[in-house]
Amino acid sequence: MFSKTRLSSLLFLSLVSAYTWPDPKLDELESQIYDLFGYNFNAFPGFPTAVNPCTLDFFDTGAANKNRSNAADWIRTAYHDMATYNTADGTGGLDGSIQYEQDRAENVGDGFNNTIRFFQTSLSRYLSVADSIAIAAKIAIEVCGGPDIPFRGGRIDATGPNNPGVPEPQQDLASHTAAFKRQGFNPTEMITLVACGHSFGGVQHSAFPDTVPLDDGLDDESLPFDSTPFTFDNTIAVEYIQGTTRNPLVVGANDTTNSDKRIFASDGNVTMKGFAEDPESFKTACASQFANMLNQVPSDVQLSEVIEPLPVKPQLPFLLFTGDGTLQFSGQIRFWNMSESSSRTIKLLWADRSGNTDASYTGVLSHASNWAGTNKAGQTTALWYKIGSLNQTQPEIDIDEETGISKFWFEVDEGDGSAVRTEDQNGAAFVLQDAVMLADSTCNNGTLVHIDIAVRSDANPSRVYVEYDVQVPNGPGTIITVDTADAALLQKGVSSTYDLWTVDLPKTAISTTLKAAVNIAADIGGNKVTTSYFRPFVGGQIGYKRCA
Ligand code: HEM
Ligand SMILES: *[C@@H]1O[C@H](CO)[C@@H](O)[C@H](O)[C@H]1NC(C)=O
Ligand SMILES: *[C@@H]1O[C@H](CO)[C@@H](O)[C@H](O)[C@H]1NC(C)=O
Ligand SMILES: *[C@@H]1O[C@H](CO)[C@@H](O)[C@H](O)[C@H]1NC(C)=O
Ligand SMILES: *[C@@H]1O[C@H](CO)[C@@H](O)[C@H](O)[C@H]1NC(C)=O
Ligand SMILES: *[C@@H]1O[C@H](CO)[C@@H](O)[C@H](O)[C@H]1NC(C)=O
Ligand SMILES: *[C@@H]1O[C@H](CO)[C@@H](O)[C@H](O)[C@H]1NC(C)=O
Ligand SMILES: *[C@@H]1O[C@H](CO)[C@@H](O)[C@H](O)[C@H]1NC(C)=O
């Protein structure tokens, strides 16, 4: 039995549990779901930009499709990808297999293609198709008026189709109830999930010509499920209960395909009445069923804990070897839920390679007033600070290469008389290795990138190499590894502490259009030691100048 104290401290821990930085995959997913708008919003692929406003429709422009939206396509895609899930044997589920199932009658329409095309060129080693589908649905729902949906990450992409199993409108109620049971939803949850999903979008003539006849003069037409097809709200239930609904799956001329009518009435309208009377209960019920939908994954996939925003999060803290006796330390730090203050100062402190501190191991963080980001609709503000002083062309802190760095942390002084606050991840600090890093002499000649790598002389690496992502159309990036050849040790003892190694890569391999990410690594004493993963040609990444 837990003692009372132990239990309450466990509860406290579960409330504040955020993972410890760095965790490259969780760092990427955390950014995708929290860095939504403003400064440093995650632009690869920039999910929120496609649903703000919620009427945006990237791939079906034109009058004929004015009732369609990216948001609706994304939500339907998540459901259809998940709907193959089989609770009995743990197969199917949200695993990106929808990309191999688009020729099935149960997946009629171009909404799945529209969805995948949006993020396909931003996939990386840390962003799978399946996680992208889940994130797209979550962000569409949240940005378009819906509830916050707790998010777990780590979905793995299927390499082929799953067994069929998406419900179709002409099937009877018993088939639908059985299909939802197989997917892990009881009859009330079925009514809920269908109502929540059909709060968005509608039925298209080109996909369902019998359900939606074409009006004169139109090439295509889409009839919404309710009068607010671009916003999450309980109008779907209100109009159904009032009897004013124009939902084509309720009032369609052919009763065989009126599946929403059968499902909504399947418990004598109890659930739908509740939703019509209480918008908050609809929102709460949708939050949990949408979360259940996104978390139905094949049984061999282990999802992460719910990803909470890190209170203090470094973004690409970067050490650059200059050869002049110092390591240039640059990067940006995000402070979550912090408001602007002109009296605040933040210091960065670090421990050297041996873990020792010294009064001189300190520098400033700088903030400009336009460096604020938000999650959705500005509810939570995050302030971004740069490492170093803005008086420098490239803000940075110089670290003596002989003493080096092993970890860093922050002291926040609000300047209002309150106590100075230490931000060090509950004592763990922010760990940073200085054994291997990019060297300032790195350059490209237009076709080749000549990557110079500084490795600490005392490290005796068994390998020094570069890893970069190559995009494949149907899954997360494949990692290509390029080793330095033995002869590639450029200059031994180039400084008191480091040697230089080199790797030549074709520039096209890591070009902007591919948005590919690169990291530099060495095997030292049987361990892989690596820099963070960075995007060389995006945003003028330091070090990538033209060769002289
Ligand atoms: C028995 C279960 C279901 C049936 C028979 C059904 C049927 C349909 C049909 C026929 C369409 C029109 C598609 C088109 O014209 O391209 C549609 C659209 C849609 N469905 Fe469902 N659905 C079901 C469950 C769900 C669920 C559980 C969700 C999500 C939670 C969902 C989300 C959507 C969305 C967002 C659209 C609009 C797509 C757009 O406007 O592009 N559906 N559904
Ligand atoms: C989308 O459709 C286009 C045109 O048919 C096709 O070339 C492309 O491969 C499809 N993409 C996906 C992700 O299904
Ligand atoms: C859009 O939806 C309305 C119903 O709200 C319908 O009358 C109209 O025909 C639809 N237009 C198109 C182009 O789909
Ligand atoms: C109604 O829809 C069903 C299923 O699509 C179809 O088999 C049937 O022929 C339709 N009935 C009429 C009268 O169009
Ligand atoms: C459910 O509500 C609809 C719409 O108001 C109504 O037509 C139908 O008769 C109701 N069904 C039951 C079983 O109450
Ligand atoms: C943000 O910080 C304020 C003040 O410290 C706190 O009351 C609020 O709950 C926080 N909000 C979030 C979303 O963390
Ligand atoms: C930038 O330089 C000015 C003038 O030298 C100085 O007053 C200011 O404190 C410097 N700012 C920082 C952040 O170092
Ligand atoms: C870049 O360097 C490589 C190897 O030295 C050489 O083959 C190539 O012609 C150079 N490209 C340009 C544009 O100078």
Write the pLDDT tens digit of every residue in 147-185.
Answer: 999 999 999 999 999 999 999 999 999 999 999 999 999
Q: Which residue has the higher pLDDT, 181 or 514?
A: 181
Mean pLDDT for 481-489 is 76
Atom 5 of ligand 5, residue of closest alpha carbon? 241
Checking if the pLDDT of 250 tops 50, the result is yes
Which residue's CA is the nearest one to ligand 4's atom 4? 170
Q: Which atom of ligand 3 is nearest to the CA of 63?
A: 13
Protein residue with its CA nearest to atom 8 in ligand 7: 391
DSSP for 512-525, please give it. Answer: GGGT--EEEEEEET
Return d(Cα 483, Cα 522) in angstroms, integer: 9
Which residues, other chains included, contact 9 with Cβ-Cβ below 8 Å and sequence gap of 6+?
A: none
Q: From CA 77, how far away is CA 446, in angstroms rounded?
A: 41
pLDDT at residue 8, rounded to an integer: 39
331: Cβ contacts below 8 Å, ≥ 6 apart: 314, 315, 316, 317, 318, 386, 387
Ligand 8 binding pocket includes 547 (Cβ within 6 Å):
no
Model confidence band, residue 63 (pLDDT cutoffs 50, 70, 90)? low
| Nearest CA, atom 12, ligand 7 | 389
What whole-number distance in Å separates Cα of residue 215 and Cα of residue 493?
78
Is the distance from the beta carbon of residue 99 to the nearest atom of ligand 2 less than 6 Å?
Answer: yes
How much distance in Å is there from the Cα of 474 to the middle of ligand 2? 11
Q: Which ligand is nearest to the CA of 226?
A: 3
CA gyration radius, the chain: 27
Going by their DSSP bridges, the two strands 545-546 and 527-530 should be labelled as unpaired
Given pLDDT bands bounded at 50, 70 and 90, which one contains residue 480? confident
How far is the C-alpha of 162 from the C-alpha of 101, rounded, in Å?
A: 8
Can you tell me which atom of ligand 5 is nearest the CA of 264?
1
- Structure confidence at residue 284 as a pLDDT band (50, 70, 90): very high
Res. 512: pLDDT tops 60: no
- Does the beta carbon of 299 lie inside 6 Å of ligand 6? no
Strands 443-444 and 545-546: parallel
As a whole number of angstroms, the distance between CA 31 and CA 34 comes to 5
| Rounded-to-integer distance, Cα 209 and Cα 120, Å | 30
Bridge partners of 455, per DSSP, are 436, 499
Instruction: Write down the pTM of the prediction.
Output: 0.95
Q: What span, in angstroms and rounded, lies between the C-alpha atoms of 28 and 11?
A: 27
Contact 337 CB / ligand 6 (< 6 Å): yes
Q: Does residue 14 carry a pLDDT above 70?
A: no
Burial 332-362, CB ≥16 within 10 A → b, else e: bbbbbebeeeeebebebbbbbbeeeeeeebe
pLDDT tens-digit readout, 214-227: 999 988 999 999 99
Q: How far is the CA of 502 from the centre of ligand 7 (A)?
A: 37
Task: Read off the pLDDT band of 413 (50, 70, 90).
Answer: very high
Distance 198 CA to ligand 7 centre (A): 56
CA of 260 to the centre of ligand 5 (A): 12
Residues 6+ apart with CB under 8 A from 64: 218, 219, 220, 221
Q: At residue 540, does pLDDT exceed 70?
A: no
Any idea which ligand is nearest the CA of 256?
Answer: 4
Output the pLDDT for position 182.
Answer: 98
Q: Give pLDDT, residue 511.
A: 66
- Whether 435 and 455 have beta carbons less than 8 Å apart is answered as yes
Band of pLDDT at residue 535, cut at 50, 70 and 90? confident
- Ligand 2 near 117 CB (within 6 A): yes
Q: Does 379 have pLDDT greater than 90?
A: no
Average pLDDT over residues 383-412: 96
Query: Helix or strand or coil: residue 472?
Result: strand
Closest-lying ligand 2 atom to the alpha carbon of residue 473: 13
pLDDT at 548: 85
**Signed CA dihedral, 484, 486, 491, 496: sign only:** positive
Tell me the C-alpha distance between 196 and 232, whole Å: 8
Of 461, 458, 451, the C-alpha closest to 524 is 461
Q: Answer whether residue 547 shows pLDDT above 60.
A: yes
CB of 132 within 6 A of ligand 2: the answer is no
Query: Which domains, from first to last, does the chain contain?
Result: 9-295 (1.10.520.10), 312-431 (2.60.40.2440), 436-530 (2.60.40.10)
